[in-house]
Structure 1
Amino acid sequence: MARTLATYISLPGTAAEAMQHWQEVFGGELSIMTYDDVTLGAMPFDPPEGAVAHAWLEFPGGLIAASDVVDDKTYPVRGTAYSMLLSTDTAQESRGYIAKLIEGGGSEGMPLEKAPWGGWYGQVFDRFGVMWSFSSDED
């Protein structure tokens, strides 16, 4: 297997909805496995019915994996310490993804504009609180 770096995100019970939304935005092949679908034997937790054990979305240029948080801890999703960075062929392609994320209930974080390094850069928070950054070297 070739070495691949993928993003894995744990969501507070919204993993299936988020992954389906991201498939609508970015395309690709989506697989979702719930804890109901697998037999793992004794687990140190009791997952809620329908909770996502593992989901993955493969789309051109990327792989996102996710699951639902199944413990009683609170994990913040929205923040500025991280973002999902997608480099696109053109700024227009970035604008298209940004528009889809905003139309899906997201909000603009930083408009897509010429960046000091010469390319284009912008940010949007999707409706799940995940920050998406987009960059392109071309108009």
Structure 2
Amino acid sequence: MPTILNPYLGFRDTAREAMTFYQSVFGGDLQLSTFGDFHASEDPAEADKIMHGMLTSEKGFVLMGSDTPDSMDYSAGSSISISLSGDDEAELRGYYEKLSGDGGTVTVPMEPAPWGDIFGMCTDKFGVAWLVNVNAAQVNAAQAGPAS
């Protein structure tokens, strides 16, 4: 198996809701384990909090997340952005719209960027920043129309 990079997001008491939301955006299989499942906290109030969540989409995305225990410091979304990029403009716009809607905010609208791609930035309702980029080659091919 090759080495892979998986974003791992920390939340404060909203991991179940956040990971379920990301499943509604990306589809796929969501696995959630609580602190109680593994007897990993002495605090009964943390028994139902998510110790580990993993979303694996049909496209091969893997996104992980968990609730930060009350005994640990937590600062929402302060030092991470997640980037989505590819050739399928409709797919990427769909992700962008879902992530920026329903309590999210648009930082940069999805539009042509100075480097030729279509690009947008948003923050979802959980405070996670997202960058979405449609590669220029796909944009230019779509504008040119079918080959003669």
The TM tier, using the shorter chain, reads 0.7 to 0.9
Using the TM superposition, name which of 93-102 and 55-64 deviates more.
Answer: 93-102
Paired residues for 1:1-139 under 5 Å? 1-40=1-40, 46=43, 48-59=46-57, 60-79=59-78, 81-137=79-135, 138-139=138-139
One-letter amino acid matched to 2:70: D
Q: Deviations over 1:36-67 (max 9, x none)?
A: 11145xx6x63613111100001114111111
**TM-score normalized by the length of structure 1:** 0.86
Query: CA RMSD of the aligned region, Å?
Result: 1.8
Higher helix residue share: 2
One-letter amino acid matched to 2:66: S
Please tell me whether the aligned partners of residues 16 and 50 of structure 2 are also in contact (alpha carbons under 8 angstroms). Answer: yes
Amino-acid identity (%) = 36
One-letter amino acid matched to 1:21: F
Give the match's secondary structure for 1:36.
Answer: coil
Please tell me whether the aligned partners of residues 36 and 46 of structure 2 are also in contact (alpha carbons under 8 angstroms). Answer: no
Q: Which has the higher contact order (CA 8 A, sep 6+)?
A: 1
Length, aligned pairs only: 135
Task: Identify unmatched segments of 5+ residues in structure 1.
Answer: none
Distance 2:38 2:23 in 1: 23
The alpha carbon displacement at 1:83 in A equals 0.8
Task: Identify unmatched segments of 5+ residues in structure 2.
Answer: 140-148
**TM-score normalized by the length of structure 2:** 0.81
Q: Please list every run of at least 4 consecutive aligned residues from structure 1 whose deviation after the TM superposition is greater than 6 angstroms.
A: none
Q: Deviations over 1:82-119 (max 9, x none)?
A: 31101132333222111112333211111112222221
The alpha carbon displacement at 1:73 in A equals 4.1
Report the structure number with the largest CA radius of gyration: 2
